[in-house]
Chains A and B, each alone.
Chain A
């Protein structure tokens, strides 16, 4: 295999990994502040994609057709709408269940996920059909031997890196981040120190959900297509990635996302090469099996919580 192709696999894997990592970071943030697993996260991502798509269609119908302006508004509307939705979910579904067994939160959010999914399917016009997502990014490409670099893919990668770095800086360098970390470490003590516990929880859920919406729009721009079901698999993969890296640890989530994408890519390339009778369709089976093996080896994830600091 030549270098160009290797680079192509790497790029494909990076792109997938970026989207997984962004979903996984959300899971890890939620677990950090409240010790809950919010299973509707993937579906929030999907709703974010559809919100972006609807914004685009709205802009088209009022005659705004500059792609950059469209892109900006699509991202803004999608991210802010999902940040609000995330905060609302936290306020009305997760916080009231704070003192209930964690299983209740998990089940409640799992059901909320189905509600969101079915709502888009039933109430978005022709919601059960796959929707073409607009091509808003420039499509210039450079060929370096067998490697094809496309401007849109590079922009998406850069945007993903920027978003993750942004979240990281927010958590480590700002007062808000300090408050989030304080709540993650010990909610009661943080409250005594004068931190508005509820506000921080809502903000964290808004942050994670906004990040998911961005991942959803990126996913749409990358594949130029979306459908009401994308959240389900992305949610499960994002959750596995978060677990793989060590739930509660942001770096772990990012690492987990890229590892999962790497496993999938490896599965689809190596499986048919080693066992010719196994089609590449088994790549998810391969990746999830590998996750199970890794979890058996390191039950607390690759980057385990050293102390009770979780974010």
Chain B
């Protein structure tokens, strides 16, 4: 008799516990849906990768906190190390996992180029959030590949026109010999010659090169007014440092690849001063949605900044989440939904995908380092004429 009452007591307790668990977490009623983030989380450009990861994570957290959302989202973050071989491995890992519906993928162009076929093969829709090589979207016709950020074609056109309008005429070009650096060299050279600039010398360097003294000595001999650098932050820091050591007096002009806080921090305030960078999209700090983004980002207390492409990753993640909310967690349906995106409001402005699923970004923003911070050109003391670029 005693034993029976004990059993009854246990049963009742168990029932209470189970009921309590349900009451405490009503969210578990929602199905869990996975999306992937892939970017460089270690290595020289990891600051940008981590900024993108945090921004994607922010989009997922905000959506999970939204009581109206139909699913509970889980973010799978993978590290491509900015290396194509590693990128293909992790892309295959994500794409072959059918529980992952879509991905926010790649900062490095060489990696994005290497992985497009993987996503196509496995039918996983992705939105590229940072890589700028045109061929990523225009070099194939894979319906899975979308891109929210613009291509390097637009940024180099603006860069060439802007710099010639500043009165510069003579350039030396250093670029890394990956697809990314070569692309920058190609498009910048093309637009520069059209705008009346002259290229005195072009130097292809390896993406992990340490010593640039002989290239820079050669450049010193050529006496350019501007050194254009097509490559990423770590090399940019080295080149700018060694320019100073060799006494090369020229304006330093980079691409979107050096627009990171790590560039200014790595060089220190004095050396970084006056360096230029060009990046697609409106200055998001000024868009109303951009302020919401920075506010929410700050609330989550991430240890790292979102960096230049964080807002693009955030926008990409939100487009994916919206699509899943609308058509359900199905790769094909999500892909078709994303394919048809037109005038979608995001924090980087309106997103419209063209026939190659490339967002048409009309605007390029110019940045200059002022007192150790990247400042929008028009707002900077340089833009207002209080400070001068080198040689002006």
* A224: chain B residues within 8 A (beta carbon): 241
A172 beta carbon closer than 8 Å to chain B:
no
* A229: chain B residues within 8 A (beta carbon): 208
Q: Give the CA-CA distance A55 to B179 in the complex, in Å.
A: 39
Q: Give the CA-CA distance A272 to B220 in the complex, in Å.
A: 15
Q: How many residues of B contact A (CB 8 A)?
A: 34
Pair A279/B177 contact, Cβ less than 8 Å: yes
A-binding segment of B17-25, B198-206, B279-287, B370-378 = B198-206
B-binding segment of A76-84, A88-96, A142-150 = A142-150
When C-beta atoms are compared, the residue in chain A nearest to B238 turns out to be: A225
Query: Which residues in window 116-143 of A have CB below 8 A to B?
Result: 126, 128-130, 132, 141, 143
B289 beta carbon closer than 8 Å to chain A:
no
Given that A9-B214, A12-B213 are contacting pairs, would A223 and B220 also be in contact in the complex, using a CB cutoff of 8 Å?
no
For B205, B211, B266, which residue has the most chain A Cβ atoms within 10 angstroms? B211
* B307: chain A residues within 8 A (beta carbon): none
Pair A225/B245 contact, Cβ less than 8 Å: no
Query: Which residues in window 242-275 of B have CB below 8 A to A?
Result: 242, 245-247, 265-266
| Additional pairs, 8, CB under 8 Å, beyond known A1-B221, A129-B43, A264-B211 | A13-B214, A130-B266, A148-B247, A153-B245, A225-B237, A233-B210, A280-B203, A280-B214
Shortest distance between the CB of B211 and any CB in chain A (Å): 6
A69 beta carbon closer than 8 Å to chain B:
no
B209 beta carbon closer than 8 Å to chain A:
yes
Question: Which residue of the partner chain, among A5, A128, A130, A284, contacts B220 with CB atoms under 8 Å?
Answer: A5
* B206: chain A residues within 8 A (beta carbon): 281, 284
When C-beta atoms are compared, the residue in chain B nearest to A13 turns out to be: B214
* B201: chain A residues within 8 A (beta carbon): 272
* A233: chain B residues within 8 A (beta carbon): 210
Query: Which residues in window 215-243 of A have CB below 8 A to B?
Result: 223-225, 227, 229-230, 233
Q: Give the CA-CA distance A222 to B237 in the complex, in Å.
A: 14
Contact with A along B19-58 (1 / 0, CB 8 A): 0000000000000000000000011101100000000000
Question: Which residue of the partner chain, among B81, B204, B210, B246, contacts A281 with CB atoms under 8 Å?
Answer: B204
A16 beta carbon closer than 8 Å to chain B:
yes
Pair B234/A130 contact, Cβ less than 8 Å: yes
* B217: chain A residues within 8 A (beta carbon): 5, 8-9, 12, 269
For A230, A264, A281, A284, which residue has the most chain B Cβ atoms within 10 angstroms? A281
Shortest distance between the CB of A271 and any CB in chain B (Å): 10
Shortest distance between the CB of B274 and any CB in chain A (Å): 18
* A227: chain B residues within 8 A (beta carbon): 44
* B44: chain A residues within 8 A (beta carbon): 129-130, 227
Pair B221/A132 contact, Cβ less than 8 Å: no
Given that A12-B217, A223-B210, A230-B210 are contacting pairs, would A281 and B247 also be in contact in the complex, using a CB cutoff of 8 Å?
no
Q: What are the 7 A-B residue pairs with the smallest beta carbon separation, nearest first?
A: A279-B204, A148-B247, A12-B213, A268-B214, A128-B42, A281-B206, A8-B217
Pair B42/A141 contact, Cβ less than 8 Å: no
Contact with B along A229-266 (1 / 0, CB 8 A): 11001000000000000000000000000000000110
Pair A280/B215 contact, Cβ less than 8 Å: yes
Pair B241/A225 contact, Cβ less than 8 Å: yes
Q: Give the CA-CA distance A152 to B217 in the complex, in Å.
A: 18
Pair A283/B214 contact, Cβ less than 8 Å: yes
* A8: chain B residues within 8 A (beta carbon): 217, 220, 246
Q: What are 29 sample pairs from A and B whose C-beta atoms fall under 8 A apart?
A: A1-B221, A12-B213, A13-B214, A15-B213, A16-B211, A128-B46, A132-B266, A141-B247, A148-B245, A148-B246, A150-B245, A152-B245, A153-B245, A223-B238, A225-B266, A233-B210, A264-B214, A268-B214, A269-B218, A272-B201, A272-B218, A280-B203, A280-B204, A280-B205, A280-B214, A281-B177, A281-B205, A281-B209, A284-B206
Query: Which residues in window 174-221 of B have CB below 8 A to A?
Result: 177, 201-206, 208-211, 213-215, 217-218, 220-221
When C-beta atoms are compared, the residue in chain A nearest to B247 turns out to be: A148
Pair A146/B245 contact, Cβ less than 8 Å: no
When C-beta atoms are compared, the residue in chain A nearest to B43 turns out to be: A128
Given that A148-B247, A280-B205, A281-B204 are contacting pairs, would A129 and B46 also be in contact in the complex, using a CB cutoff of 8 Å?
yes
Given that A143-B247, A223-B238 are contacting pairs, would A12 and B42 also be in contact in the complex, using a CB cutoff of 8 Å?
no
When C-beta atoms are compared, the residue in chain A nearest to B209 turns out to be: A281
Pair A12/B214 contact, Cβ less than 8 Å: yes
Given that A129-B42, A130-B234, A281-B204 are contacting pairs, would A223 and B177 also be in contact in the complex, using a CB cutoff of 8 Å?
no
Shortest distance between the CB of A288 and any CB in chain B (Å): 13
Pair B214/A269 contact, Cβ less than 8 Å: yes
* B177: chain A residues within 8 A (beta carbon): 279, 281
Shortest distance between the CB of A214 and any CB in chain B (Å): 18
Q: Give the CA-CA distance A229 to B42 in the complex, in Å.
A: 13
Q: Give the CA-CA distance A141 to B248 in the complex, in Å.
A: 12
Contact with B along A11-45 (1 / 0, CB 8 A): 01101100000000000000000000000000000
* A150: chain B residues within 8 A (beta carbon): 245
For B220, B221, B234, which residue has the most chain A Cβ atoms within 10 angstroms? B221
* A280: chain B residues within 8 A (beta carbon): 203-205, 214-215, 218
Q: Give the CA-CA distance A132 to B206 in the complex, in Å.
A: 20
* A152: chain B residues within 8 A (beta carbon): 245
Q: Give the CA-CA distance A150 to B213 in the complex, in Å.
A: 14
Pair A146/B214 contact, Cβ less than 8 Å: no
* B214: chain A residues within 8 A (beta carbon): 9, 12-13, 264-265, 268-269, 280, 283
Q: Give the CA-CA distance A8 to B217 in the complex, in Å.
A: 7
Shortest distance between the CB of B302 and any CB in chain A (Å): 15
When C-beta atoms are compared, the residue in chain A nearest to B208 turns out to be: A229
